Amino acid sequence: MALDAMYDRTLSRTAMKAELLDAETELALAYAWRDQRDEAALHRLITAYMRLAISMAAKFKRYGAPMNDLIQEAGLGLMKAAEKFDPDRGVRFSTYAVWWIKASVQDYVMRNWSLVRTGSTSSQKSLFFNMRRVQARLEREAASVGEVLDKHQMRQMIAIEVGVPLHDVEMMEGRLSGSDYSLNATQSTDEDGREWIDALEDDSEQAADHVERDHDLAQLRTWLVEAMGSLNDREQFIVRERKLIEKPRTLESLGQELGLSKERVRQLEAAAFGKMRKALESDATEVTAFFA
């Protein structure tokens, strides 16, 4: 933390000493970067407005993020602004850069606020950064006329004020009410207490499912062996090579080995499946789809 604080102070002092650009100089630098990709001009433009980036980053310290990280994100937003700035539009670069700096820092804060995604739409972002302020103002206004708002009334009024659905307000209230907790934390103060992760349902295959699956597979194997017994040796060979090996063979390759045409092998295969269907119908009609 001490090194971070030292870095923040050094960067702030450097930014405060940077030159103040007038409109003409700023415009010339913007043209030089856009048209000639002059990196010296870009560096001068970024350095001049780094104090603006630091000032905006400081407004988000209350969300608990390290100041040096906020400054870095603000700097990234400033560079994005420089990359996209069009000097022909007649707008000062500082005015244009404010939006990019703020967006970059806000995205960083929301990404790091919780492991659970806090929000992604513009309305949800507005709710995240304005909910507490709006709530405080509504409470003051209600108190001034002697009213007390319950939680449901407050949520409804916040939703209307910010322009978001009520369920978004309820979701965000839960997100802002506390930070994430480790699943490895114990459920009691006792060191030997059970961890919260032990209370989660095990999504792996249960013993009963495993036994049932093994039983079904054994039954299917029995039916298959019985059905294969109804075939002659050549038919068994064709079915085995076409359906029961890891890399099934083609009709053409089997025909070459057996001295038959490709069409004749196909006919023998179809006849073999017909025999197996008949053998299976009396025991397990549900597996005939395997041979369709």
Backbone angles phi, psi at 195, to 5 degrees: -80, 155
C-alpha to C-alpha distance for 52 and 12, rounded to whole angstroms: 10
User: Taking residues 125-132, what's their average pLDDT?
Assistant: 74
The CATH T-level fold of domain 209-291 is Arc Repressor Mutant, subunit A (1.10.10)
Q: Is 285's pLDDT higher than 80?
A: no
Mean pLDDT of the chain: 79
Q: Is 122's pLDDT higher than 50?
A: yes
**What pLDDT band is residue 73 in, cutting at 50, 70 and 90?**
very high
Q: Is 271's pLDDT higher than 70?
A: yes
pLDDT at 115: 43
* Percentage of the chain exceeding pLDDT 90: 24
**pLDDT tens digits along 174-233:** 666 655 455 555 655 555 666 655 655 555 556 666 677 777 788 788 888 888 888 898
Quick one: tokens of 273? 């499946």
C-alpha to C-alpha distance for 227 and 56, rounded to whole angstroms: 77
**pLDDT tens digits along 25-49:** 999 999 999 999 999 999 999 999 9
Higher per-residue pLDDT: 281 or 45: 45
Write the CB contacts of 237 (distance below 8 Å, at least 6 apart in sequence).
258
One-letter identity of residue 210 = H
Write the CB contacts of 238 (distance below 8 Å, at least 6 apart in sequence).
254, 265, 268, 269, 272
pLDDT at 193: 61
C-alpha to C-alpha distance for 263 and 266, rounded to whole angstroms: 5
The model's pTM is: 0.46
The CATH T-level fold of domain 2-113 is Four Helix Bundle (Hemerythrin (Met), subunit A) (1.20.120)
